[in-house]
Structure 1
């Protein structure tokens, strides 16, 4: 916890705004002027109480808190009791602030900012502790691994203890902002333009599973043919002395081939209209650019 004498008011405001942005808060108090105005009114400000309630509700599942903030400025007595109980449960180091809240004697902006800074710091600490506890699970869970990769690609903070809805909301907003900066028609229209119901998604999963099974069978056959073909190159007397060098060149490439299909529902959602423009590699127009001397033998 920070010592209450370490920060000036301006530094405290900056720390609060930075923390709120990192925590994913998207309410009206992300601007310095609005934050100061709400802190000046304190518990009489609906926006200030809403901010405290958001921080508390986000912190509650991470720390198994018993206390919560349910009252508003219209029921000041209940609100003061809830605030005081919350501060005591979190072992707030600002003793004067705790006693001041219950007595209703907290009046200045600085004390109200301290309360927000304390709650945001507690929430950040709780998210870090939670992320350390589940980091090993993330490595084993492919979904978490993909989600972390998305956040890293978009330069978003790691989803430490956040629920899925909040994380995907941040991802959606970030992607929307990135797309606005791209030139027109940089990304083709999606192939799938209609929303599907749960029953249709289940049918798609079944169809994809059947296609993947058939694809895997064909791919195993092709890989086997490749193995036999490469193996036949070593039958000659000249090649027998180079079996080791051939294996060193071939095996790394061979191990990278997997018979299982990687096509899933995510690929379907990401597919664009240009995917429908398929040209056979054996067509005359394509062969004009790929023909070589070997083909003429």
Structure 2
């Protein structure tokens, strides 16, 4: 804050004048905008156009304080026009807004520091994994730059002892800018979230399938044995993806080559005894939407016609029932009821 109320005397005077002080207005608006930028709030305190908008300013302050659950009853209850008339109430408002802003900034700084520490610890773990893979001694107390220098020298020594094309060329030939790295991390986060959902579904299918095997009488007596074999392998599966941006940087040209799943080199690792089992002909269970026949139309249940109608000679009944009468719409001489549906005979 760089306004006119940095001095204590000026602040006291503005609190005495209350809503008639433009400086008091500006300070409240600044505190409200800073608080809103640090937390997700619906209400806000906006700039006013002089004394004419004092009432709207009071409404905004009231809504803002209610959303923040202000503990001062004098600021959130009673007549809205009388809440900021006293100097003490104005100081309470400034005290509440300033302390809330201070607390939000402390929490924000702690969150940023926590993210940095988490990122730093993740980097340390990656460097330690590199040292373990290269057979180098690593120490958690050592700083990362000297360790990376030693790792680079070790890798150069190893590469000097192998053929030139042993590792292959990098798939990514151009360096990435900070903006590109940030975009790639967002893409990777979205993909990780999608594949985590898929993994959870597949793991749930696995659990349900194994559980269904236990329904048979033969498997019920071997429940403990099944659990002893299955659970260690099941707990080793994680729904979280381990793919990071480092995998993209480490990718080589041979990764872009598409290898058939039926090729010899691939089948060496995927072949198993179940592949040699031939399944017999199974009945077609159907279920294809294009082959489903529509349901038959609903027909009204036919009922036996009752003798006699509801009218008289020319009323609604007729000679043997129906809507017409003897001389009505159906008619005595029309055996099928005519237009109206009554008459001599009807089936």
Q: TM-score, normalised by structure 2?
A: 0.41
Task: Identify the structure with the greater helix proportion.
Answer: 1
Q: Name the larger-Rg structure.
A: 2
Q: TM-score, normalised by structure 1?
A: 0.48
Which structure has more relative contact order (CA 8 Å, sep 6+)? It is 1
